[in-house]
Structures are given as structure tokens and as C-alpha cells.
Amino acid sequence: MSAPGKGAGRTAVVTGGGSGIGKAVCERLSADGYRVAALDLNPAAAAFGQAADVTDRAQVDKALETVREHFGPVTVLVNAAGMDGFKRFADLSFESWQRVIDVNLNGVFHCVQAVLPDMTAAGWGRIVNISSSSAHSGQQYMAHYVSAKSAVNGLTKALALELGPAGITVNAVPPGFIDTPMLRKAEGRGLLGGTVDDHIARTPVRRVGRPEDIAATCAFLVSEEAGYITGQIVGVNGGRNT
């Protein structure tokens, strides 16, 4: 039995649910009463975990079959799996370019296409794609990542138009400066252009974002009451991008 709450009776899949933002989304949606499954390379205990690489369609399909067997059809999808990368464009190998596009963009393609039959059959669905504020601002040494995340925003808009008549909303949340292992790893490697504290001083709300900030936005966007919101890029970045 699912706990009472907004999500009671609904099954949500969160990619990248083993860490950072995806993990916080799993925790929040579980607290809201959804049956939550995490797809990740290394799924943590935040939800019903399924090991899957989102770039591998066969793995995604297999993981979703298991989720359906346990929880029934999937009508909520949050695509949070992602990887960053830092390299001067002149030195960027095509293999790195391809892998970053594969994880951040093609992974969304596979997961959306794989859950779509469930949503179409239900006449109801909610998809949230976690992109990046860098798609708005650009970011040096991240040409592959920025390109992939910009494409995720574009895909979101195209799908919103196509899937709206089927009762499915599609929105993107581009986070900016959220305290996760990904951010701390970049800080540790000196790739942030300063420390997290330096960035806090330049952030209008004067704090680093928390994974829970993104989770709260996702929780709203997948709810019944957000049904008139689709095709939107909903920035959550402490005012760093306006």
C-alpha cells in the first residue's frame, strides 16, 4: 500500500536516483505517496533501485519491466541522470563529446520513449527533465555538456506540443549551483572558478542550492495541480540566471 498523499496510486521513475538531485527527488516523491523507482548506474536506497545505464535501451527496458511488475504502469518520469565534463573545446575528443551527449540527451530520449506507452494508455503523464542553467548562460570548457543540456530544453518544448493532447505534460528544470557530489567534485578539481563559498557571495539569495530545492519544484510539476504547465523551462538557481 502506498502512503496517503498527492501521489497515492501513481508510479514514478527517477533516473540518476542514486545520488544528489535524483536521490532527493526520490525521497520527496516517496514522502508525497508515490511508488518510486530509481534507475541509476549505482542505485542507492532512496527508492526501489534498478541498476541501468540510461544510454543502453535494452537495460532501460529491462529495468522498467521490473518496475512495472512491482508497481504497475509508470506515469511520472523525472530524468535526472547526468554527467558533466570539463575540457577546452580544442582538446575535446569526439569520444568525450559523444559520451556526454549520450548520457545527458540520448538517455532522456530512451527513458521518455520507454515510458510513453504507459502514459498514453493512462491518458495522463508527467515528465520533468533536469537540464542545466548553463544552457542559458553558456559555460566555458563545457561545450559538450552545454550542448546536450540545451538540446534537452529543446526536446522538452517539442514533446510538450506533441504530447499535450495525450494528457502528458513535459517540463524542464535547469538547476544552477546545487550542493551535490557533482558540484563538490568539480570544486575539488578546481573547475568551478572559485570555491562554493566564493559562488555563494555572488548568488543573489546568498546560499548554495540544495537538492531539496529541485525536488520541491519537481514535486509540484508532477502533481495534478500543475496540469496547465507544460513546455516550460523552470529555473531554480537562487537568482544566478534571470
Residues that bind ligand NAP (CB under 6 A): 15-16, 18-22, 40-42, 53-55, 80-84, 103, 107, 130, 132-133, 175-178, 180-183
Instruction: Give residues with Cβ within 8 angstroms of 217, minimum separation 6.
Output: 173, 234, 236
C-alpha 178: how far from its chain's center?
Answer: 13
Q: 81: closest CA among 112, 104, 62?
A: 104
Cβ closest to ligand NAP, residue 52 vs residue 116: 52
Output 21 or 151, the one with its CB closest to ligand NAP: 21
Concerning whether 228 is annotated as a catalytic residue, the answer is: no
CB of 107 to ligand NAP, least distance (A): 6
CB of 9 to ligand NAP, least distance (A): 27
Q: Which residue, 22 or 125, is less far from ligand NAP as judged by CB? A: 22
CB 51, min distance to ligand NAP, A:
9
Residue closest to 222 by CA, chosen among 130, 118, 126, 131: 126
Answer whether 156's CB lies under 8 Å from 171's CB: yes
CB of 204 to ligand NAP, least distance (A): 16
- What is the total residue count of the chain? 242
Buried b (16+ CB within 10 A) or exposed e, 174-210: bbbbbbbebbeebbeeeebeeeeeebeeebeeeebbe
| Of 166 and 208, CB closest to ligand NAP | 208
Residues belonging to the active site: 145
